[in-house]
Chain A
Amino acid sequence: MIATPHVDWFALSPTLALLGAGAVSLLGAVLVPKRARRPFGATVCAFGFAGAIVAGALLYGFSAHGHGVIGDAIQRDRLAALAMMIVAGAGFLSVWVSATEPMPDDHIAEYYALLAWAGAGMAFLTSASTLMTLFLGLEWFSIALYILCAIDVQLVGSLEAGLKYLIIGSFGSAMLLFGSALVYGATGALRFGEIAHAVAAQHLTHDALLVSGLALVIGGLGFKASAAPFHMWTPDVYEGAPTPVTAFMSAATKTVALVLMLRVLVTAFPQEARLWTVAVAVLACASLAVGNLAALVQRGVKRMLAYSSISHAGFMLIAVAANNALGGRALLYYLIPYSAMSVGSFAVVAARERELNAPVTFENLAGFGWERPLLGISLSVFMLGFAGFPLTGGFVGKFYVFAAAYRHGWIWLVIVGVAATAVSLYYYLGIVRALFMRPSEELQLAPATVAGGSPPPERLLQTGVVLALAVTVGSFFAVQPLIEGAKHAAGAIF
């Protein structure tokens, strides 16, 4: 008889909600008539994500004092709960974007099942508190995403994207696993807290095994956060994957990877802080440099957004590198508007893609802003938010990140961030310019019109965009409650 630990089902409730939603939508593939599978899957999946948000909020409310549950394999605290809410929110928005994606009906049930399961894996991962659960959660959502990237076999590049992501992602996972093994070898502990104790008790601070293990763990998580120099898969995968999948990945994967990086580094390696703060700061600078400079020369909007997401990984890594409570707060706040802007901008790209039936470039955005004012204004607001203009949460996020770096005593990092922001304006404002300042006569490509005019506006997608817009702008005005929430969440580890 194996002694089973007590299971805190409540701590798992967001994960379970999404697992259940995935199972139900998969059942739809068998039980629901083919015509109704798409709305059925989307509805179930949306309810799953909404349920996960609610469960996450309840978990947040009832987990003021963080503690390990299920044999200390996972940590029930507000950090995990807030990250779950962000992930589930990104998933929820992505469902609205997916609902009208022109995808073959054959695998639509699997699509929504995998989307929900990827979310479930992420929700599980945010509360990981041992190296085992960390790897388990990471692989869980990664495998779901590999398939999602390749699911639309008729889309040019989708299969390629899935394969690239699989190979490079597996390499990243292998790095993480190898690093975990080295850390375990050095300390004999798997739980984050115990690793820290072992390092302190056995004076392992400069142990070669431990330090290499730490480096590999950072690298492995860096792959998922698409931080340079582990970013090379990002542009190809973002470009090739179906746009709603890209939207979900760009927001949710980054959220879990960065929150996990913060949790691992702060709770398992506090003694190595002198090392990893510098390492993460270097990653941040590399991401800012690579992301921004490469984004400058992109013509494809999805590729540009991919590089922009690399540069945002850089901004958020600044918050991790600060290694203080303000940094934790900055990261968690930043993720909220960032996720909304990211999903929202990919949603608008998806809308244009469907209109033109071609990849969206800067050139064929010309005049889009005047044709579809709602989407045009929304995309402009998302771009201004990415660029850190006020009246969007992106501004407050950047402000907090820089403030955290300054409080850590790194003015140079603030200057790097400011310089990166200045460079980024060129391509973010380039989108605004393409949307509104070029006449649509310049458009090279005629919209794929249906009989009797342009295609009707897609209400579902527009709802998703409006929700993302509300979060982007709302997070600027409601800084106090959000930052209060982020403060309690970060307080779980600082």
Chain B
Amino acid sequence: MHWLTTALILLPVGGALAIWILPLQPFAVGSTALLVALAEVGLWIDSVARFDFSKPGLQLDQRTSWFSDLHVSYHVGLYGFSLWLVGMTVVVMAAAIAYAFWAGRDRPRAYYGLMLLLTGALVGVFAAQDLLLFYVFWEAMLIPLYVLVGVWGGAGRLRATLVFVIYTMAGSLLMLASIIVLGISQGTFDLVGSGTNGSDWIFLGFVAAFAVKAPLFPLHAWLPEAYRESSPEVAAVLSGVVSKAAAYGFLRIAISKFPGPTSDFRIPILVLAGCGLIYGSLLAFRAPDVRGVIAYSSLAQLGLITFGLFAVNDLGLNGAVLQMVNHGLISATLFLLAGGIERRAATGELARLGGMARGRPALATVLMTTGIIALAVPGSTAFAGEFAILAGVFRTGWAWAVVGGIAIVLAAMYMLRLISAVLHVSPGPAVSDAALDLRPAELGFLVPLVACLLVLSAWPAAITDRSFGSSPSSAISGVLR
């Protein structure tokens, strides 16, 4: 029994309730939310300190019966990899809340309350060890997102939310059917120690939910609009964290619990992931605006992560977990930067941008650094992650590694295009000389994100050696069953 995981879930939820109930001034609301988000990061650091990375099993866990007749319980806890994903979540959420605080949002009490609620739900998804509880957090994540995009989004927000919700709920409800069938037939909804299952249909129900949320090609139709219409910090959370919840679901449920169906459906899933990888990269290369590039690159990156996961070997899984954290941090940084650029130029269209590096050294440095890490130059943490994924998937078949290799070349192309279209060439019509460099406040939330990436670049083994205890494949066939 340990309260720390529960505290990680409840702290932001409590913060949200406090913000809603207490009659605070707008400024106080924003700063309270930021403080809660930072306290959450502190709590996470505390849980890292208490975590024993040499053990592969569930730690900091807590279990209480919720309703006993169907054996559903409140069971939370963390594995090594979930700990890293939780860390990525809390850091990105703190940065997103800081961005919103800096940019200012209408109706702050509703806004920050929802952001904190979203934090709690996301941490819950990564910590839940009961199928029904997992579903509860999974759905609880959707409600704040729906409102955050629908109320504070751009002009096309209503359509974007509608498409987003229809897609994700269609997937989620199939997952609910799978959860019921699986839970009732095995007599418990607990994820730990409940054994494996060989049913293809149940497996596909779960895959449907995760494939929509990730998204996996061809279920990504909701993605471009949702990422364009939401405010930058919500887009950062969507592409950085929410998509990782789906990848986590693949790992924790689909692959761990369904070894038979995983190997049956590995090829089709890898094909879809490969299509998404190439297609997303090409679209990112052709995207007309900053957010389009990041959005489609996100589709591509999720394809790559899926490659690593469905390689189902040590290298692939370790690489996938590292890449999940990397991509979460990278795309959050890029979206927040995109928000900053849009505020300065009043547009994200690449054709109207350009030449922003001149006289804006901080912006140029942050964007360059993030972009260079994103395109996986050797020595960067993304390079480590992608290399491990490709090496892992190579063992499944060399052709997959070729597809991945092509995609990495394409990634270099679209990232460099983005960087040069924003920073270099001649100043675009939307860029005025009066547009300022990054302000200290902006650096306050961007620098920590980039610093995390640099630390991981120096020491990727912090994650790869500390996610699954001794080895991923033994964890998959052991403690995760």
Which residues of A are interface residues toward B (Cβ below 8 A)?
A: 329, 370, 384, 389-391, 395-396, 399-400, 402-403, 406-407, 411, 414-415, 418-419, 421-422, 425-426, 429, 432-433, 436-437, 479-480, 483, 487
Q: Encode contact with A along B181-215: 1 for CB under 8 Å, 0 otherwise.
A: 10110000000000000000000000000000000
Please give 6 more A-B residue pairs, beta carbons under 8 A apart, in addition to A414-B180, A422-B170, A437-B150: A384-B143, A399-B132, A402-B176, A403-B70, A418-B177, A436-B147
List 17 A–B pairs whose Cβ atoms lie within 8 Å, in order of A's numbering: A389-B140, A389-B142, A390-B137, A391-B140, A399-B180, A402-B177, A403-B183, A418-B174, A418-B176, A425-B165, A425-B166, A432-B147, A433-B161, A437-B147, A480-B68, A483-B67, A483-B69
Is A433 within 8 A of B150, CB to CB? Answer: yes
Residues of B within 8 A of A422 (CB): 166, 169-170, 173
Minimum CB–CB distance for A133 against chain B, Å = 32
Q: Report if B157 contacts A (CB, 8 A).
A: yes
Q: Is the interface of A mostly helix, strand, loop or mixed?
A: helix
Residues of B within 8 A of A402 (CB): 176-177, 180
Interface-centre pick from B69, B139, B147, B183 (highest chain A CB count, 10 A):
B69
Is B136 within 8 A of A421, CB to CB? Answer: no
Partner of A414, one of B137, B162, B170, B181: B181
Q: Which residue of chain A is the closest to B172 with respect to CB atoms?
A: A422
* 6 nearest A-B pairs in the assembled complex, by CB-CB distance: A390-B136, A479-B67, A437-B150, A418-B173, A390-B139, A480-B67
With A403-B70, A414-B181 as given contacts, are A436 and B151 in contact (CB-CB < 8 Å)?
A: yes
Q: Is the interface of B mostly helix, strand, loop or mixed?
A: helix
Please, how many angstroms separate the alpha-carbon atoms of A185 and B92 in the complex? Answer: 73
**Could you tell me how many residues of chain B have their Cβ less than 8 Å away from some Cβ of chain A?**
35
Please, how many angstroms separate the alpha-carbon atoms of A436 and B144 in the complex? Answer: 13
Is A425 within 8 A of B169, CB to CB? Answer: yes
Residues of B within 8 A of A437 (CB): 147, 150-151, 157-158, 161
Is B150 within 8 A of A389, CB to CB? Answer: no
Which residues of B are interface residues toward A (Cβ below 8 A)?
A: 65-70, 107, 132, 135-137, 139-140, 142-143, 146-147, 150-151, 157-158, 161-162, 165-166, 169-170, 173-174, 176-177, 180-181, 183-184
Residues of B within 8 A of A391 (CB): 136, 140, 143
Minimum CB–CB distance for A302 against chain B, Å = 23
Minimum CB–CB distance for A327 against chain B, Å = 13
Please, how many angstroms separate the alpha-carbon atoms of A429 and B163 in the complex? Answer: 12
Residues of A within 8 A of B107 (CB): 370
Residues of B within 8 A of A407 (CB): 184
Partner of A389, one of B143, B147, B183: B143
Please, how many angstroms separate the alpha-carbon atoms of A384 and B143 in the complex? Answer: 9
Please, how many angstroms separate the alpha-carbon atoms of A415 and B204 in the complex? Answer: 14
Residues of B within 8 A of A389 (CB): 139-140, 142-143
Is A429 within 8 A of B69, CB to CB? Answer: no
Q: Which residue of chain B is the closest to A414 with respect to CB atoms?
A: B177
Please, how many angstroms separate the alpha-carbon atoms of A483 and B183 in the complex? Answer: 18
Minimum CB–CB distance for A101 against chain B, Å = 30
Please, how many angstroms separate the alpha-carbon atoms of A421 and B165 in the complex? Answer: 13
Residues of A within 8 A of B142 (CB): 389
Minimum CB–CB distance for B299 against chain A, Å = 24
Please, how many angstroms separate the alpha-carbon atoms of A402 and B165 in the complex? Answer: 22
Is B69 within 8 A of A436, CB to CB? Answer: no
With A429-B165, A436-B150, A479-B67 as given contacts, are A403 and B184 in contact (CB-CB < 8 Å)?
A: yes
Residues of B within 8 A of A400 (CB): 70
Please, how many angstroms separate the alpha-carbon atoms of A418 and B169 in the complex? Answer: 10
Residues of B within 8 A of A419 (CB): 173
Residues of A within 8 A of B177 (CB): 402, 411, 414-415, 418
Residues of A within 8 A of B151 (CB): 436-437
Residues of B within 8 A of A425 (CB): 165-166, 169
Interface-centre pick from A370, A407, A432, A437 (highest chain B CB count, 10 A):
A437
